[in-house]
Structure 1
Amino acid sequence: MKPTIPKEKKQRLKNTTKNIDTRYSDSPVSVFIDKKEPSLTLVTGQKPLFAQCKFILDKRSTNLKDKQFSIDGSYTKQLPDYFASEQDIELNFQDSSAGSTFIELIQFAPNGEQATLRRCECSNAIKEHITYLENNNKLPTTTVSKSVIERIIYESTEHMPFELCEMNQEQQSIRVQRDGKVEDKHLPNDIKLPISMVMTPETTQQLSDLCDNTDGDEIEIAQQGDLLTFKADDGAVTCFVGGINELRAKSPEKTQTLRHVELSFYEFKAELGHCVKEYNGIKQANNALLYLDDKKAAIAVLTPPYEFVRPISTSKVSGKKNKYSLYRFPPKDLLDIKIKDLNGANSTRLDIIKYPNGELKLGVYSSSKDKLPYRSIPIENDESQLSKVLVMLESLEKIEVTSQHKKQEVQEDLFASGMYDGDDEY
């Protein structure tokens, strides 16, 4: 019996076998061959954390039989590396005279001159694996498009590192737990969660692998207590997400909003993007300054030999009257925030948020009405450059006033000569 997995599916096989935990002495992989389809399904893991992956076999497969058995986990884990990148994965299963099944491979060295025979005796399929396959077909699930799942993966990944991450369907929010502490954030309104679900970093990676390797357009989800199962047409994975009740019982730390500003995120991001993209020294330093007072906001970059400052259009500023504030933050973190995820990028709400331990963060809100920030990045108060920024802003204001006066004088001269009709374009 020689089932052949096309070489295009080698990465899927790698993703399946890499999660085999060979630290366990008992880590076999069950193999299920369906002659009619024809297909080969692998089931890995120990109860209750299983994973399955189905491969549609190449037409060149020969002597197929409906059969089920298991292979040693360490041997299976090496299978993808026993075949060159341009090779199909041709498996050779044989029955011995004693009635047992074994797998036999011939591995060639890179130079093609030496060959190694690698044979491994197979055993009966694992009962728990058989039960898992049967139960998966009966499991009540919620079906979601793969594109929505990929967006959920993106949101989870954006909040790493974390211990637990809960997506709340009803509140359209995400709760992130780090070092035992929780923080709530608002999800973009264009994400429509199918159900509430809790993720771990491991779950996020396993779900990402499932999405990358499935040929289908839908993922089925089922959460049963601390177990979360994801199913596709050609695979499934069950993950452990312990700590759900504790996560939901916790309350976020009480914070204080020091400053509130609504400004043009287009301008804000464009200036930072220009500095980081066009000036390697600024990119390497990864330092920018946010200036705020009771009337305006500005971005400053003071990375030698550069001294840049640009006022940003604001629609609202709140905080202490006549209080100048300067905050340092990493521009790369802010540039990672997608404008398309904000409802009003022309007037985006930013808050300077202070935590009980004194830590400051810049909260970026999807909407000015949202109670929770969509993203928050680290920020720190830095008054050391405040006097320089104030001088630069004052200098810029003088230039703007002078320019405006000159423009007005030109308009008056043109009007006197009859060449100006009141239009600003001349």
Structure 2
Amino acid sequence: MPKLEFHTDRKQGISHLVDAINDKDCIPYVTVVIETKELGYLIGGQSDFPSMVQLPLNSEWGLKKGQWSLCASSFSTWWQAELKNTLNKGPITIEVEYGKQQDLPSLNGLMAQVSRLYIQAKPPIEEHLAFLVQHKNQAYQSLPTDSARVILEVAEAHKPFDVFELNKEQQKVRIERDNNIQTCALPENMEVTHGILLNKESVVQLDRICSNTDAEQIQYYLDDERAIFSDGNCVSSSSLASLREYRLKKETAYSTEVKIIINIYDFKADLKRYLSIMPLKKANQALLYIDKDYVMLASLVEETGSNRFIRTKHIDCPKPSLYSINLSQLSRVPIKDITQAEQMKIAVLINDKGELKLGFYNDRDNTEPYHSVTDIEYASPKMELILQSKTKLETMLKQKNANGDLDSQKDLFGFNDV
């Protein structure tokens, strides 16, 4: 009996294709193309933006050259049952039965060694065949896989976002979050050699390709409508229609309200402690107090709380200010590659709408933050509470004859603009 085998190294790609199948899709089919005795394709997923997996074949399998489509939900049900049954032990096989009077075969599969499932092939879906032709004729650009993975690391550091851009001309990262465009500095020692503009869906597609390939190069194609990525074996596509509005938007201008240079590791250490205390973690609020002499970090609820003075090298704050910041967002600010020094420049920025963000800078670029936290607001109603906590901390430090974190550090190189 002729058969179709799906090799182990194609399982992940086929699973991604199957995961994109939706019962409400206007094209509820997957398409099989047997191009030669050694080469075939499986095409399916979303109707408008399909995926494709190249299938290595064997002449001994007895397959005939042809093109046909299968019920997507039936194929998905069979695939998921067999994938769970075989894991990574070997290929998954389905029988291909060619009838004497039929041009289109019937496929017979055994699910988990228990249930038979048959799927009668239908004429091929033209949209799937068109996608295959487009792939073969597409003028792709090449990107080293290692470079693509670095791009994905940068994108991960700036989540959440709706749009992610690496701008080659400006050598900047630009993202859109909550309808607001932000420009950020590149990580240390990074240079943009491939300008790229993606939405969050296409970033996911690129990540899937890079996570499951041994290829040295990723092929990609981007236009106003779609993104297509390929490693030579798997091809995925997604819509870029959401970028139309982004291209028309202007970047929001921010001015500096407060600027400080602090010991970033002390700062991160206390944030970690706050997350280890359940009432503080649940409250999800960090309080940042700044005046001309002190920077204090705190998290305070009725049941429990903590506060400390953060070691500083520079404070530029015209009046005592208190900010409430999302604790979980703040704790996820990446430290790796931001700066080689222990201290970091941080600024509270404000736009003409009165919206705030907390910017973190590396010592390569002092003009644009490397990372920003946008869930920040004034916390004036808690000023009395924070000042009481400040006084109590000062009293305890004096009683213990301790300095706390009030002593200055050595000069920080790279921040000549302060």
- Give the equivalent residue in structure 2 for 1:229: 228
Q: Which structure 2 segments of 5+ residues have no match? A: 404-418
Equivalents in 2 of 1:93, 1:99: separation in Å? 13
Q: Is the 8 Å Cα contact of residues 163 and 200 (structure 2) preserved in structure 1?
A: yes
Q: Number of paired residues?
A: 397
Equivalents in 1 of 2:41, 2:60: separation in Å? 15
Q: Is the 8 Å Cα contact of residues 198 and 241 (structure 1) preserved in structure 2?
A: no
Q: Is the 8 Å Cα contact of residues 282 and 303 (structure 1) preserved in structure 2?
A: yes
- Give the equivalent residue in structure 1 for 2:377: 380
Q: Is the 8 Å Cα contact of residues 94 and 110 (structure 2) preserved in structure 1?
A: no
SS of the residue corresponding to residue 149 of structure 1 reads helix
Equivalents in 2 of 1:131, 1:368: separation in Å? 47
Equivalents in 2 of 1:333, 1:160: separation in Å? 10
| TM-score normalized by the length of structure 2 | 0.82
SS of the residue corresponding to residue 51 of structure 2 reads strand
Equivalents in 2 of 1:223, 1:172: separation in Å? 20
The 5 A counterparts of 1:155-234 are 155-157=154-156, 159-160=158-159, 162-178=161-177, 180-234=179-233
The question of 1:357 aligning with 2:358 is answered no
Equivalents in 2 of 1:106, 1:118: separation in Å? 6
The 5 A counterparts of 1:4-15 are 4-6=5-7, 9-15=10-16
Deviation at 1:137, TM superposition (A): 4.2
Deviation at 1:130, TM superposition (A): 4.2
Query: Which of 101, 104, 129 is the equivalent residue of 1:101?
Result: 104
- Give the equivalent residue in structure 2 for 1:339: 335
- Give the equivalent residue in structure 2 for 1:389: 386
SS of the residue corresponding to residue 69 of structure 2 reads strand
Equivalents in 2 of 1:224, 1:275: separation in Å? 45
Q: Which structure 1 segments of 5+ residues have no match? A: 407-426
Deviation at 1:318, TM superposition (A): 0.7
Equivalents in 2 of 1:359, 1:192: separation in Å? 31
Deviation at 1:140, TM superposition (A): 3.5
- Give the equivalent residue in structure 2 for 1:296: 294
Equivalents in 2 of 1:281, 1:61: separation in Å? 65
- Give the equivalent residue in structure 1 for 2:412: none
Q: Is the 8 Å Cα contact of residues 291 and 325 (structure 1) preserved in structure 2?
A: yes
Q: Is the 8 Å Cα contact of residues 93 and 109 (structure 2) preserved in structure 1?
A: no
Deviation at 1:263, TM superposition (A): 1.0
Q: Is the 8 Å Cα contact of residues 160 and 201 (structure 1) preserved in structure 2?
A: no
- Give the equivalent residue in structure 2 for 1:90: 93
Equivalents in 1 of 2:323, 2:314: separation in Å? 18
Residue type of the partner of 1:260? Answer: K
SS of the residue corresponding to residue 252 of structure 2 reads coil
Deviation at 1:266, TM superposition (A): 1.0
- The one-character-per-residue Cα deviations of 1:136-171 (angstroms, maximum 9, x if unpaired) are 345333322334323433444555554433221222
SS of the residue corresponding to residue 62 of structure 2 reads coil
Q: Which is higher, the Rg of structure 1 or of structure 2? A: 1
Name which of structure 1's ranges 393-402 and 229-238 shifts more when overlaid on structure 2.
393-402
| TM-score normalized by the length of structure 1 | 0.80
Deviation at 1:25, TM superposition (A): 4.1
Equivalents in 1 of 2:371, 2:382: separation in Å? 26
Report % sequence identity: 23
Q: 1:307 to 1:128 in 2, by over 3 A?
A: closer
Name which of structure 1's ranges 355-364 and 40-49 shifts more when overlaid on structure 2.
40-49
Q: 1:356 to 1:79 in 2, by over 3 A?
A: farther
Deviation at 1:268, TM superposition (A): 0.5
Equivalents in 1 of 2:49, 2:68: separation in Å? 19
Deviation at 1:256, TM superposition (A): 3.2
Residue type of the partner of 1:204? Answer: V
Q: Cα RMSD over matched residues?
A: 3.3
Q: 1:169 to 1:48 in 2, by over 3 A?
A: farther
Q: Is the 8 Å Cα contact of residues 3 and 61 (structure 1) preserved in structure 2?
A: no
Q: Is the 8 Å Cα contact of residues 144 and 194 (structure 1) preserved in structure 2?
A: no
The 5 A counterparts of 1:22-421 are 22-33=23-34, 38-44=38-44, 49-56=49-56, 62-83=61-82, 85-87=84-86, 88-108=91-111, 112=114, 115-124=115-124, 126=125, 129-157=128-156, 159-160=158-159, 162-178=161-177, 180-242=179-241, 244=243, 246-277=245-276, 279-320=277-318, 323-367=319-363, 369-377=365-373, 378-398=375-395, 400=397
Q: Is the 8 Å Cα contact of residues 349 and 368 (structure 1) preserved in structure 2?
A: no
Q: 1:244 to 1:117 in 2, by over 3 A?
A: closer
Deviation at 1:293, TM superposition (A): 0.8
SS of the residue corresponding to residue 188 of structure 1 reads coil
Name which of structure 1's ranges 396-405 and 326-335 shifts more when overlaid on structure 2.
396-405
SS of the residue corresponding to residue 85 of structure 1 reads helix
SS of the residue corresponding to residue 205 of structure 1 reads helix
Equivalents in 1 of 2:194, 2:230: separation in Å? 15
Q: 1:206 to 1:358 in 2, by over 3 A?
A: same
Equivalents in 1 of 2:83, 2:137: separation in Å? 39
Residue type of the partner of 2:233? Answer: D
Equivalents in 2 of 1:386, 1:344: separation in Å? 34
- Give the equivalent residue in structure 2 for 1:2: 3
